[in-house]
Copies of this chain bind each other. A is one copy, B any other.
């Protein structure tokens, strides 16, 4: 996605250092045809065109300005595009709308962006948060509940620093409730170490709900993940512990997710990936434990560095007659679901 550079403007101004800058228009268009079974209460199947098989379709503007002394101003605007209908997201720039500074100290931005959790764990998902199909950002639990990490965040301050093989990051997002500083704030902290053929990451985040009588909900997630490059295969594994305490005093919502994946660079153009995501739902009534599992296999064929054809198959299964869906976003209807899709992705 290092993409289209708009022509550069030279600003030689009295009172300001010569500044050089560039702005890029970039995007990713991903469309596929998908078959899914068990897609409504009557367990009917469905054929359709979907936007985003391997990655969410998007476009954006980003740029930086050299301020001298190793300092840069940076900004990014990024919008989701539903390629099947042409719709934008409810908040148009919901993916990225931030500005800040970058230097030897790292990068600090303010506005709307993805959390540190999302940024740090992305390389540790064998399917890279693919809408078809990954459960790493959130996974189903019992009764269409979703347990997951902190993803897109408004009112955010985010810091990321890289120091040799180490990477550290933190997110703080204001709750913006009048009354006090932080009752509904969101936090994330992460540290990664990637010296070469392998990498590990540890991430913690916490989402404080809006204040209500009795306090407020508090959702915490903790991730540990690693990856190991054994050419031509790359192995990835990780685990999430999720715990949400409720202001209502009801039982905590708890689950553990673990995942494991392998990507095989079969030829320079062809990558074959297989992965499993397994939820272990805790703290629910006996016999209602869904413990959903997702199996995914994907073939990706590169027509160029920026254009791929792909085919994906996914199978999700829940225990105890609970509902489960392949998609982390959609409502589930059956206790298994199978989906197959084939599509194209182009980046500019």
Contact = CB atoms under 8 A, between A and B. Distances in A.
B307 A39 contact: no
B77 A81 contact: yes
Interface in A290-348: 302-307, 343-346, 348
Contacts of A61: 25, 27, 59
B303 A73 contact: yes
A7 B24 CA distance: 10
Copies of this protein chain in the complex: 3
Contacts of A77: 27, 29, 59, 81
Contacts of A71: 303
Contact of A65 (B91, B157, B179, B306): B306
Contacts of A213: none
A157 B39 CA distance: 22
B21 A306 contact: yes
A286 to B, nearest CB: 32
A301 B9 CA distance: 22
Contacts of A302: 15-16
Contacts of A16: 268-269, 302-305
A246 interface: no
A47 B182 CA distance: 9
B99 A346 contact: yes
A97 interface: yes
A33 interface: yes
A49 interface: yes
B110 A65 contact: no
B9 A6 contact: no
Interface stretch (A82-90, A202-210, A220-228): A82-90
A214 B51 CA distance: 32
Prevailing SS type, chain A contact patch:
strand
Nearest to A38: B178
**How many A residues are at the interface, by size bracket?**
35 or more
B65 A348 contact: yes
Contacts of A100: 31, 344
A54 to B, nearest CB: 13
A3 interface: yes
Nearest to A101: B344
Contacts of A45: 178-179
18 contacts: A14-B268, A15-B269, A16-B303, A16-B304, A29-B77, A29-B98, A46-B179, A49-B111, A51-B97, A59-B77, A73-B346, A75-B346, A75-B348, A83-B98, A84-B155, A87-B92, A88-B91, A88-B92
4 closest cross-chain pairs (CB), A and B: A15-B268, A86-B93, A88-B92, A29-B99
Interface of A: 2-9, 11, 13-17, 19, 21, 23, 25, 27, 29-33, 39-40, 42, 44-49, 51, 57, 59, 61, 63, 65, 67-68, 71, 73, 75, 77, 81-89, 91-101, 110-112, 154-157, 173-174, 176-181, 268-269, 302-307, 343-346, 348
Given A6-B7, A11-B306, A16-B269, 10 more contacts: A19-B306, A31-B98, A47-B181, A49-B154, A49-B155, A65-B348, A73-B346, A86-B93, A87-B92, A87-B93
